[in-house]
Structures are given as C-alpha cells and as structure tokens.
Amino acid sequence: MDYLKDIGMRAKNASVKLALLLQDEKNNALKACAAALLESRDEILDANSEDVKRSRENGVKESLIDRLMLTPERIKAMADGLLEVCALPDPVGEVLSMHVLPNGLVIGEKRVPLGVIGMIYESRPNVTADAFALCFKTGNAVILRGGSDAIQSNKAIVKALHKGLRKSGITEDAVLLIEDTSRELVNKLMRMNDYIDVLIPRGGYSLIQSVKENSSIPVIETGTGNCHIYVDRDADLDMAEKIVINAKTSRPGVCNAVETMLVDAAVAGEFLPKALKALQELNVEIRG
C-alpha cells in the first residue's frame, strides 16, 4: 500500500476512536505520555545530538541550531506542556449556543472534533509534543511532518508518545510521524482530502504560502510572526529594558523572540539611548 495512504487510513480510523474518549481517558493518557518523555530523555537527547551534529556540518547558523537543540530542561518543559494541556477544560461537547425558532426547530452550536489534522512544521522538535497534546485533547488524530533537520529528534519523541499511549490502552495511531522528509511527499500530503480534514502549517512565510497555494485541504493559517514590545510612558524603564533584552537575546531563533520595539514618545528620549546601547553591546542589529 502507498506509504501516505496507509498513514492516512490509520489516522482516519484512529480519529473515530479518539472522538469518543472521555475527559479522564484523555487526561490519563497525556499524563502517561508526559512520563514517557521523561523516561525516554536519554534516547531523545542522543537522537537530537545527531540532528545538531548534522546541522553544524551543513553550516547552519548557531541561532537556528539553538532552536533545534534539546536539553534535559527542554524535555522537562515538553512534559510539563502536556500536563498543562491535561489541566485545561475539555472542549469536546461544549454547547456554545442553543435556541428555538418560531417553528419549533432547535438550533445549537456545539464543539466537536475535526477528525484528522495534518501539521507541517519546521525545526523545533518540541512542536511535535505540543501538536500531539492539543490535537489529542480535542479528540483529533494528528499526522506530523516536521523538518528534515529534526527528523531523528521527532522520531524519538513520537516513539515516547507511543509508549505513553500504549500504557493507557489507546491507539498509537493518535499521532503519526511522516519519516520521509522529501518535498515530493509534502506535495502529496497537501492533497490527501480523503484522509485529512484540516492542514496547519507552522513556520516561516515561504512554508505557509506554499501550503496555502498548493493544498486542496482546508488550511488554518498561522502568523509568520512579528513580535512587538510596547514601552508605555508609565512603565518601569529599568524593568522594560530587562524585558526587551531578555525577549530579544535569550533565544533569538525562536518564533516569539521580539522583533519590533515601540516606545511612547514621552519616554523615548530617556529610554531609547540606554536600551539601544545595551542591545548593541549584545550584538543585536538595530533598524529604525
């Protein structure tokens, strides 16, 4: 059977089962998956070191390697992220509105799972766990296609998630990773209408545009990112400077690193010279 078709059929079959799971079943499975990530820490780190080594050999910038790199703390953060999703209220079955028409017809709006979600994303392997958790909590199966630079990391993470699902008695097909990283396969993925109900691209502008232009599946578009910080006239300027420096320099390769700073004219004369000097000393390029 065709590789993608097999994955699509498995995800579609899994989605029917996931839609019927009770809140406690989903939460217990998320807890088991979080524990499995921690138990598989060494295996995930070994796999990640392969990706990092290959990226360095290919001349990838260090800021982008930081986005790719995993540490024990980042794996702990991934596990904590699953527990945070676990603590969220279950949206499935929530009734948003209900009313009766004059003719007696009852019309309501209720949250239900979408079915199978396809996710195409770049670099950051923590997205693998995040995407699974959000899709699983909402009763959906997910097909993941991460970047080739993180393929070994993603395989190890999904292996750990499968371990947690097995312990919970839930089908491993709740999360499926496309291990073939060829562009040709991505183009086929974007036309799997029979199996995927919605496609979500998460990454840079070119990726999002490519999916929008080529997909025959409905697409949920994410922002390409232009993160702002606004410094108000009533702000604590010393604290504002620390926030700006942290937001720009702690992890410059991630999508929520600040890119634009807006300052109230009333404090610009006092704040900007000091803040810009501090940023330049940290090798931040200033454009304004």
Say whether domain 227-281 belongs to CATH 3.40.50.10610. Answer: no
Q: Mean pLDDT, to the nearest integer, of 203-210? A: 79
Residue 56 pLDDT > 90, yes or no? yes
Give the position of tokens 């410094």. 231
Tokens of 153: 């990391």
Cα 173 → chain centroid: 19
Residue 12 pLDDT > 90, yes or no? yes
Alpha carbons 163 and 186: distance in angstroms, whole number? 27
Q: Which residues pair with 120 in a beta bridge?
A: 145, 201
pLDDT score of 181: 86
pTM: 0.82
Which range has the top average pLDDT, 15-24, 204-213, 255-264? 15-24
Q: In degrees rounded to 5, what are phi and psi of residue 170? A: -115, 145
Residue 11 pLDDT > 90, yes or no? yes
Q: 3-92+111-214: which CATH topology?
A: Aldehyde Dehydrogenase; Chain A, domain 1 (3.40.605)
The answer to whether 190 touches 217, Cβ cutoff 8 Å, is yes
Give 9's pLDDT tier (boundaries 50, 70, 90).
Answer: very high
**Average pLDDT of every residue of the chain:** 92
Tokens of 144: 């993941």
pLDDT score of 222: 72
DSSP assignment string, 171-189: -GGGEEE-----HHHHHHH
Of the candidates 9, 45, 277, 8, the one whose C-alpha atom is nearest the C-alpha of residue 160 is: 45
Alpha carbons 167 and 107: distance in angstroms, whole number? 40
Q: Mean pLDDT, to the nearest integer, of 12-41? A: 97
Q: Where are the alpha helices (DSSP H) in 40-150?
A: 41-57, 62-68, 72-87, 126-137
Give 225's pLDDT tier (boundaries 50, 70, 90).
Answer: low
Domain boundaries, the chain: 3-92+111-214, 227-281
Give the position of tokens 């995800």. 11
Give the position of tokens 């929520």. 256
The answer to whether 189 touches 178, Cβ cutoff 8 Å, is yes
Give 217's pLDDT tier (boundaries 50, 70, 90).
Answer: very high
Cα 166 → chain centroid: 23
Residue 1 pLDDT > 70, yes or no? no
Q: In degrees rounded to 5, what are phi and psi of residue 222? A: -100, 160
